[in-house]
């Protein structure tokens, strides 16, 4: 008796003739990958020539690179405020087309990402519209002006993964020192 509503198991997939790069193992070679049930089962030269399941789909990846997803740590996205330039959705599609699986957004939007509500907005919008993971960085200082530090603890609790004033320098040594102290206390990253 056939079960209703149960999806068929996906066919195994062989990515053949690719340049395989795996920094976690220090690997960089030309060869093949066998993927079954969404997991890489094997990676070797000549794998596609034998030793793969009969029902496997084989894709010739000559000239292509197979690697773990890339992370863009400095994405400038217009949303919120300049959606005419770029949205989180359009940025995520562009990232995916280039092999980027995660983008970290800079805080220099309009409004500046210096309030937990804006961090929450970005995370909710990304969850609803993005095809890659999106993480917001929050401003280190209010309005990116370098004069008064933001609420690092609240912004981190809201989901900010790091803090920066983008392409602006914090020139006030006292503000920078206090920011570094607070960042240490909250185990927060300043970029």
- State pTM to two decimals: 0.79
pLDDT at 53: 81
Note whether 34 and 117 are same-domain residues.
no
Query: How many domains is the chain built from?
Result: 2
Question: Could you tell me the residue range of the domain that residue 167 belongs to?
Answer: 70-185
pLDDT at 41: 87
pLDDT at 186: 97
- What burial letters (b/e) apply to 160-169, b meaning 16+ CB within 10 Å? bbbbbbbeee
For residue 38, what is the domain's CATH number? Answer: 2.30.40.10
For residue 115, what is the domain's CATH number? Answer: 3.20.20.140
* Alpha helical stretches, state H, the chain: 88-97, 116-129, 152-158, 173-185
Note whether 117 and 56 are same-domain residues.
no
Q: Tens digit of pLDDT for each residue in 63-80? A: 999 999 899 999 999 999
Assigned domain for 1 exists: no
Assigned domain for 6 exists: no
Assigned domain for 5 exists: no
Cβ proximity of 98 and 132 under 8 Å: no
pLDDT at 2: 40
Strand pairing category for 13-22 and 57-60? parallel
> How would you write the pLDDT of the chain (191 residues) with one tens digit per residue?
344 555 566 889 999 999 999 998 899 999 999 999 888 888 888 876 777 788 889 999 999 999 998 999 999 999 999 999 999 999 999 999 999 999 999 999 999 999 999 999 999 999 999 999 999 999 999 999 999 999 999 999 999 999 999 999 999 999 999 999 999 999 999 99
Note whether 38 and 109 are same-domain residues.
no
pLDDT at 1: 37
Note whether 89 and 156 are same-domain residues.
yes
Note whether 133 and 56 are same-domain residues.
no
Note whether 154 and 84 are same-domain residues.
yes
Note whether 77 and 170 are same-domain residues.
yes
Q: Tens digit of pLDDT for each residue in 87-104? A: 999 999 999 999 999 999
Note whether 80 and 46 are same-domain residues.
no
Note whether 119 and 51 are same-domain residues.
no
Note whether 86 and 37 are same-domain residues.
no
Euclidean distance between CA atoms 61 and 139, whole angstroms: 41
pLDDT at 43: 85
């Amino acid at each position: 008796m056939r079960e209703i509503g149960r999806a068929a198991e996906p066919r195994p997939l062989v990515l053949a003739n690719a340049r395989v790069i795996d920094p976690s193992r220090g690997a960089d070679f030309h060869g093949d990958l066998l993927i079954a049930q969404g997991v890489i089962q094997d990676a070797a030269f000549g794998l596609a020539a034998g030793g793969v399941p009969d029902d496997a789909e084989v894709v010739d990846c000559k000239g292509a690179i197979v690697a773990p997803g890339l992370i863009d740590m400095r994405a400038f996205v217009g949303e919120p405020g300049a959606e005419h330039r770029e949205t989180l959705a359009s940025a995520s599609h562009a990232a995916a087309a280039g092999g980027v699986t995660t983008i970290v957004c800079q805080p220099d939007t309009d409004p500046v990402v210096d309030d937990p509500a804006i961090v929450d907005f970005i995370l909710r919008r990304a969850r609803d519209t993005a095809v890659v993971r999106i993480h917001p960085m929050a401003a280190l200082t209010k309005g990116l002006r370098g004069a008064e530090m933001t609420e690092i603890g609240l912004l981190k609790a809201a989901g900010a993964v790091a803090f920066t004033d983008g392409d602006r320098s914090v020139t006030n040594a006292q503000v920078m020192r206090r920011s570094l102290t607070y960042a240490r206390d909250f185990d927060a990253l300043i970029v």
